Chains A and B, each alone.
Chain A
């Protein structure tokens, strides 16, 4: 353990909503049921105080697995159909990237590849690693793991990029029989994947990285 004082050891809790530092009275024996419940609400904003996010491991695992299940059809199923007079073409996420590359915009192709493929995969790998190592109370590369978590939080929502591209093209390309774009189910699964991975990273409590063994509550 580091020499720096930690809130849990000092009996303090920081309110997750407004940041106010409160005394942790959950285990104070002088209070009975109702008083204790009152004391566990932040006096400033009214949010419930938790030493750690409640059931962080279970929630994060559940959301991450749900996101992964959605991610499979999101990649396998086409996300968009482009139809013209003599041609119907279904695009998946990957074929969209390839097409962008061929259209002469390798820079944008790299950006879309990063947002749609690298970021979701990074989130699955990163959150999986964080969950497993923290559950084992591992002391391995704590600082790097903390930074990895903050990176996932920061870039997570950029994956919505492809969803917006499909929505904009659908609204724009409507030249009756000449040329049309329609969304296909893959884009729905992809949108849900992004939302679920965002919820998963929000329910993970980064303080667990620094806790030792048996400290989930």
Chain B
């Protein structure tokens, strides 16, 4: 039998394949269930690192700047992401407050920090300190970051508010839109490749 590294198992149906080298643009699909097995990555480690650093800067701005301002009879009211989290907490919706804080702030922040750390070392072909534990954490963080959903939510809120108030979009919403774009570019990357691309340290 071939060595385990030469094999690939479809996560969706358990079919076993022999790994083959992919060239640019290739996507390997399962012949049984049509799930994606593996995809060739056009992004180098350096490109990914640059993308993550950009996303990090945009994320900081998206959280610092107000998202949108409402006006009513000369009064103005605006909010940031943390303003939302605090408001929900004060209004007895603690569960929602925690959900928003986790999916829009803490999890995305953790994801970017972990990736930045791991890729910084991967650039030199090394495994970062704590590599194993951090890669496992990253795996479980997977579906729990929702910045792109928030952008659509903000759009809906703006349209709803528009009926009663003067609405002025603030820089925060543009930063969020840019962040969504960066997330989309990054979405196709299978981070498991970091396991293969960096050698196991000799114990």
Which residues of chain A have a CB within 8 Å of any CB of chain B?
Answer: 2, 4-8, 10, 12-14, 16-23, 44-47, 96, 99-100, 103, 105, 108, 111-112, 115, 142-143, 146-147, 149-150, 153, 156-158, 160-175, 178-179, 182-183, 187-188, 191-192, 195, 198, 202, 206-207, 209-211
- From B7, B77, B93, A21 is in contact (CB under 8 Å) with B7
- Residues in B with CB closer than 8 Å to A2 are 15, 32
Within 8 A of A (CB), among B74-93: 75, 77-79, 83-88, 91-93
- Closest A residue to B196 by CB, please name it: A19
A100 to chain B, nearest CB (A): 6
* B146: Cβ under 8 A from any A Cβ: yes
* B27: Cβ under 8 A from any A Cβ: no
- Residues in A with CB closer than 8 Å to B73 are 178
In the complex, the answer to whether B149 meets A164 with C-beta atoms within 8 Å is: yes
B149 to chain A, nearest CB (A): 5
In the complex, the answer to whether B16 meets A168 with C-beta atoms within 8 Å is: no
Question: Could you list some 14 contacts between A and B, CB below 8 A?
Answer: A4-B16, A7-B9, A14-B9, A22-B4, A100-B156, A149-B12, A150-B35, A167-B84, A168-B153, A171-B83, A173-B165, A187-B96, A191-B99, A211-B14
Distance A142 CA – B30 CA, assembled complex (angstroms) = 14
- Closest B residue to A146 by CB, please name it: B33
A216 to chain B, nearest CB (A): 14
In the complex, the answer to whether B14 meets A164 with C-beta atoms within 8 Å is: no
In the complex, the answer to whether B93 meets A183 with C-beta atoms within 8 Å is: yes
Distance A156 CA – B11 CA, assembled complex (angstroms) = 19
In the complex, the answer to whether A158 meets B149 with C-beta atoms within 8 Å is: yes
In the complex, the answer to whether A17 meets B93 with C-beta atoms within 8 Å is: no
9 tightest A-B CB contacts, nearest first: A164-B153, A14-B9, A171-B79, A171-B87, A21-B4, A146-B33, A171-B84, A183-B93, A168-B157
In the complex, the answer to whether A146 meets B156 with C-beta atoms within 8 Å is: no
Which residues of chain B have a CB within 8 Å of any CB of chain A?
Answer: 1, 4-5, 7-9, 11-16, 31-35, 67-68, 70, 72-73, 75, 77-79, 83-88, 91-93, 95-97, 99-100, 103-104, 132, 135-136, 139, 143-144, 146, 149-150, 152-157, 159-165, 192, 195, 200
- From B15, B143, B157, A169 is in contact (CB under 8 Å) with B157
Distance A129 CA – B104 CA, assembled complex (angstroms) = 32
In the complex, the answer to whether B68 meets A210 with C-beta atoms within 8 Å is: no
In the complex, the answer to whether B153 meets A165 with C-beta atoms within 8 Å is: yes
A12, A23, A149: most-surrounded residue (chain B CB, <10 A)? A12
- Residues in B with CB closer than 8 Å to A211 are 14
- Residues in A with CB closer than 8 Å to B103 are 160
B57 to chain A, nearest CB (A): 23
- From A7, A46, A157, B149 is in contact (CB under 8 Å) with A157
In the complex, the answer to whether B12 meets A169 with C-beta atoms within 8 Å is: no
Distance A47 CA – B136 CA, assembled complex (angstroms) = 8
In the complex, the answer to whether B96 meets A191 with C-beta atoms within 8 Å is: yes
In the complex, the answer to whether A99 meets B153 with C-beta atoms within 8 Å is: no
A96 to chain B, nearest CB (A): 8
B62 to chain A, nearest CB (A): 13
- Residues in B with CB closer than 8 Å to A18 are 135-136, 139, 192, 195
In the complex, the answer to whether A164 meets B150 with C-beta atoms within 8 Å is: yes
B13, B67, B88, B200: most-surrounded residue (chain A CB, <10 A)? B13
A108 to chain B, nearest CB (A): 5
